[in-house]
Amino acid sequence: MQGLDTNVLVRFVVEDDPEQCAAARDVVAGLSPRDPGFIGLIATVEFVRVLQRTYRFPRETIAETLRELLACPEFVFEGADDLEAAIFESLQSGADLPDALMARRNAAAGCSVTHTFDRRAARLAGMSWVPRPRPEGAPAGGPN
């Protein structure tokens, strides 16, 4: 098994740098089901964030891209079952995929709840929204 860094995955998928893209394709071409590329959770989360923030991929495109990569026998994803479920949950709830993955992994680790300031993440099972404290003297009906 061979580990793959986020930047190799990004170049393989986005194809925005001809030299690095060619090198990433060569790496992936050298993978096989017997000697797959391992994609850890950290690389997966970084990959999602780069596609979101740098390349402005819509969440549906990111989900489809990950599903295609998950289906390739040349890749092994750490936490693949949780990742597949998190893709579905993020699309259903509107929460970010990394938040859905965190909720699943934290629950699997025995967490009774995961606290968050992110209202969309709080839509996920196992997540709990933490309201921000109001400044002293602020009216009770103000935004939070």
d(CA 55, CA 126): 30
d(CA 81, CA 108): 12
- Residue in 40, 39, 52, 38 with CA at minimum distance from that of residue 97: 52
- Residue in 83, 16, 96, 17 with CA at minimum distance from that of residue 52: 96
Domain that holds residue 60: 2-78
Residue 43 lies in a domain: yes
Report the domain count for the chain.
Answer: 1
pLDDT tens for each residue of 17-44: 899 999 999 999 999 999 999 999 999 9
β partners of residue 3:
38
What per-residue confidence (pLDDT) applies to 139? 66
Residue 109 lies in a domain: no
Q: Which residue has the higher pLDDT, 5 or 131?
A: 5
Residue 6 lies in a domain: yes
Give the whole-number percent of the chain exceeding pLDDT 70: 94
Residue 70 lies in a domain: yes
Question: What stretches of the chain adopt beta strand conformation (E)?
Answer: 2-3, 37-39, 75-77, 114-116, 127-129
56: left (phi over 0), alpha (psi -120 to 50) or beta: left
Residue 108 lies in a domain: no
Residue 39 lies in a domain: yes
d(CA 73, CA 70): 8
Report residue 32 as tokens.
Answer: 């096989």
Do residues 77 and 44 lie in contact, with contact meaning Cβ atoms separated by under 8 Å? yes
Reported as a pLDDT band with limits 50, 70 and 90, residue 138 is: low
